[in-house]
Amino acid sequence: MSSIKQNIEQVISQIGLAAEKCGRPVDSVQLLAVSKTKPIAAIEEAIAAGQRAFGENYVQEGVEKIQHFSDSENAAALSWHFIGPIQSNKTRPIAEHFDWVHSVDRAKIARRLSEQRPADMAPLNVLLQVNTSGEATKSGLAFAELAALADEVAAMPNLVLRGLMSIPEKADDYDSQLAAFQSLADAMQTLKTLHPQMDTLSMGMSGDLDAAVAAGSTIVRIGTAIFGARDYGEKTSQ
Ligand SMILES: *Cc1c(COP(=O)(O)O)cnc(C)c1O
What pLDDT shows up at residue 136? 59
Kindly report, residue by residue over 119-167, the tens digit of the pLDDT: 999 999 999 999 998 865 668 999 999 999 999 999 999 999 999 999 9
Residues of the chain under the 70 pLDDT cut:
1, 135-138, 233-238
Q: Which of 188, 192, 211, 214 is nearest to 201 (CA)?
A: 188
Q: How far apart are CA 31 and CA 53, in angstroms?
A: 7
Distance from Cα 194 to the centre of ligand 1, integer Å: 30
CA count, 13 A, side-chain hemisphere, 220: 33
Distance from Cα 228 to the centre of ligand 1, integer Å: 12
Q: What is the DSSP string of 46-98?
A: HHHTT--EEEESSHHHHHHHHHHHTTSTTGGG-EEEE-S---GGGHHHHHHH-
Maximum CA extent, the chain: 49
What pLDDT shows up at residue 169? 87
Q: How many helices, marked H, and strands, marked E, lie in the chain? A: 9, 8
Whether residue 221 has its Cβ less than 6 Å from ligand 1:
yes
Q: Which of 56, 61, 14 is nearest to 33 (CA)?
A: 56
Total residues belonging to the chain = 238
Tell me if 15 sits within 8 A of 220, measured CB to CB.
yes
Residue 225, judged by CB atoms within 10 A of its CB (0-12, 13-18, 19+), counts as middle
What pLDDT shows up at residue 170? 87
What pLDDT shows up at residue 102? 98
Q: Whose CA is nearest to atom 6 of ligand 1?
A: 223
Whether residue 224 has its Cβ less than 6 Å from ligand 1:
yes
Whether residue 206 has its Cβ less than 6 Å from ligand 1:
yes
Whether residue 97 has its Cβ less than 6 Å from ligand 1:
no
Q: Which of 130, 141, 132 is nearest to 164 (CA)?
A: 130
Q: Return the CATH architecture of domain 4-227.
A: Alpha-Beta Barrel (3.20)
What pLDDT shows up at residue 237? 46
What pLDDT shows up at residue 133? 85
Distance from Cα 212 to the centre of ligand 1, integer Å: 14
Domain limits, the chain = 4-227
Question: Collapsing DSSP states into helix, strand and coil, what is residue 162?
Answer: strand
Whether residue 127 has its Cβ less than 6 Å from ligand 1:
no
Whether residue 167 has its Cβ less than 6 Å from ligand 1:
yes
